[in-house]
A and B are shown apart, each in its own frame.
Chain A
Amino acid sequence: MSTPITVLIAEDHTLVREGTRELLDREPDITVVAEAGRGDLAVELAGRHHPDVVLMDMRIPGLNGVDATRAIQAIAPAVRVVIVSAFEDEDYVREALAAGAAGYVLKTAPSRELVEGVRAVAAGAIVLSPQLSRRLAQGQGEPRRATDRLSPRELAVLRRIAQGRANKEVARDLGISLRTVEGHLHNIFEKLRVGSRTEAIVHAVGHGVVSIEPPERP
């Protein structure tokens, strides 16, 4: 077995934090390396431990989940943050993804979803609770066929972007130039009528273009 996935739990409710820790500790390939009851502490610990994944409570004292995510992304971009929230509103999801979160999982979702989510984001995917994906798809208001207008190459780019790859990686992956990737992205934005990378990802996830299943771990 390869090295276990290291996880930081940021959660102010002791019961939830301990429950989550027990749950994850049962998984052989996951190790909880740190716990934080405050947002600012979570940022500090993430900078110190560099865990693979941070499970971040949306509402946490000190620094709220979204701001803490932004801070972690600033000091440790490789750390994948999953927002854990009781709120289903798509705007929270958008905000979280815009702050650089790699996932948004409902607190009341089945525990299995949380465990799978940790694995998926560790593997580089974007993870959303299924009902959120559905809602995002509806909320988008665009006809479902919008993504159909994307060319196979554009779809391939979008899929990789949604999995958390940087433009450079996508270029190498597909054997094309960085400028071509940027050109594809521009076309994708146009066709999906979105203004940002995050929106494009949300759209793709919402429309089932991108699977949340983790790709093969290297």
Chain B
Amino acid sequence: MTPGGTPRRGGVLRRAVRPPVGSTRFWVVQTLAVVIGLIHAAAAGLGPLRPVGLPDSATLVLFLLPVLYAALNFGLAGSIATAAWVTILALPVLVLSDGAGARWVDGAQLAGLDLVSLVVGRSVERERAARQAAEQAGAAHRAAEVRYRALFRGHVAPTLVADADGRVLEANPAAVQLFGHGAVGRQLNDLVPSPARGAPPSLGVLTLHDARGEQRTVRPVEVAVRAPAGGLRLLVFRDVTDEARARGRMAAYAAGVVRAQEEERRAIAAELQDELLQVLVGLARRLQALAAFPGIPPPVVSTLSEAAHLAATIGQGLGATAAGLRPPVLDDLGLEPALRGLVAGAESAAGLAGRLQVIGLEGRLCAAVELTAFRIAQEAIRNVEQHARARQLVVRLACRGDHLHLIIGDDGAGFTLPLSEGAPAGLGLLGMRERAHGLGGSLQVRCRPARGTVVTASLPATPARADCAPVRTAAAAPTVGETDSVGRDGTTVR
């Protein structure tokens, strides 16, 4: 039989005519058969042993020895060849024996011998095949086991296998690096804070300190595996540390740019407001005073008055510009008055019917939050003024718990501006979003053509007293539920 192959039906003959001629033991057996044949012949009276008086059948039984040996050792191929050989050796005695009765008995014995060889050889062969098949299956199973174990152990993603109750059964080396050697046997809930394993399994990231104390940001994904004993839970952690770091760097850069811009605006506004405007006001007053000087001819009086008026008008323009850059009301009085100013500005500049609703806001908020909310509202209102062709503008500021919700809505044409990055309109939107994210908040734009646009920003309502430097936590950075672009068909695209 060829190694690895399975015994096939109909192969019996082919194997039978292909005896194991390469085996020394086979030839030893055949020689033994010849020896037995000689004994048999002798016993049958052809040789010198006839006078001993042994019956023919007694020596014929001896032929069982080589036949069974060959069957046990070489299977069907060996047993059939040996049986054939034995039959040939026994045949002359059979033919030459005297008495028909004895010949029949010997012939039946010989046939029985051949039958035994066939049956034993076949069953030995079957048993062998079964054993080999089992061995092969075991080997394949072991190979698969080795392959999958290598995959599990070598996988860069930390992976935990837990039973249905959440007890960790196995941890791959990457997981051991993340959770330490004690991970196996512990509860998943202890290793992974629960929000990461909330209902939608891919949401949320997790910041952990690995066994070496290094901070790692991972995104856990849970896979339920059906297994006979109650099922398994597979928790794979995608390492997003580099992503999170890169995003953090970009965010820090963006925040820095925004901060620098705000600082510059504040400086320019202060210069306009506190210096140039004052000079112009002083000038206007002096010119007016000059006009009231006794003895000045009337035409000069009117020219001086006009000049005074002009200086005051320029001053007014500077004041408006300064307020646009950085409205003093925001710093002095807070968000609500500043938003009221924005709405009033939109009313007078664009003829909109504006409405401001403020709910639940008590006291001042942290300067960064106020400024962010104000800038988002300013940008959104600017969009309404310039693009929406709206008649109504509603600004709503609601403080609920520790969240501040700012909504700017209009009844205009909808927001169908190109939003490719870098396009001026898109830049405004990106800027709003970046500002919201900078505080760990989110921004959403919903628009339906001909039914207006609604910009919603959600920011932390940090009160003014608390230490309120803008902090972007790793977990807050990829904001859940943010809108990434606005669909032209009017649906909110996430």
Interface residues of A (CB under 8 A from B): 13-20, 22-23, 25-27, 59, 86-92, 95, 106-112, 135, 138-139, 141
Contact = CB atoms under 8 A, between A and B. Distances in A.
B153 interface: no
Contact of A19 (B286, B333, B337): B286
A48 B340 CA distance: 39
B282 A19 contact: yes
A15 B315 contact: no
Given A15-B279, A59-B328, A87-B328, 6 more contacts: A15-B282, A87-B329, A89-B337, A91-B329, A92-B333, A141-B355
Contact of A22 (B273, B289, B329): B289
Given A15-B279, A23-B292, A108-B316, A92 B285 contact: no
Contacts of B327: 89
A20 B287 CA distance: 10
Contacts of A13: 278-279, 281-282
A141 B288 CA distance: 37
Interface of B: 273-274, 277-286, 288-290, 292-293, 308-309, 312-313, 315-316, 319, 323, 327-329, 332-333, 336-338, 340-341, 344, 347, 355
A135 B341 CA distance: 10
A26 B329 CA distance: 34
B340 A18 contact: no
Nearest to B329: A89
A107 B283 CA distance: 12
A59 B281 CA distance: 14
A36 B441 CA distance: 46
Contacts of B292: 23, 26-27
Closest 3 CB pairs of A and B: A19-B285, A15-B282, A91-B337
Contacts of A141: 355
A109 B312 contact: yes
Given A89-B340, A110-B309, A25 B289 contact: yes
A138 B313 CA distance: 23
A112 to B, nearest CB: 8
Chief secondary structure at chain B's binding surface: helix
Contacts of B347: 138
Contacts of A139: 340, 344
Contacts of A15: 278-279, 281-283
A22 B277 CA distance: 19
A23 B288 contact: yes
Nearest to B320: A88
Contacts of B341: 89, 91
B271 to A, nearest CB: 13
B293 A26 contact: yes
A23 B281 CA distance: 12
Nearest to A64: B332
B285 A111 contact: yes
A129 to B, nearest CB: 11
B282 A87 contact: no
B312 A110 contact: yes
Contacts of B336: 91
A16 B333 contact: no
B333 A22 contact: no
B390 to A, nearest CB: 18
B340 A20 contact: no
Residue in B289, B290, B308, B309 with the greatest tally of chain A CB atoms within 10 Å:
B289
8 contacts: A17-B282, A23-B292, A26-B293, A87-B328, A90-B337, A92-B332, A111-B308, A141-B355
A18 B286 contact: yes
Nearest to A95: B333
Contacts of A95: 333
A90 B340 contact: yes
Contact of B277 (A14, A86, A112, A135): A86
A198 to B, nearest CB: 15
B420 to A, nearest CB: 37
Contacts of A89: 327, 329, 333, 337-338, 340-341
A92 B334 CA distance: 11
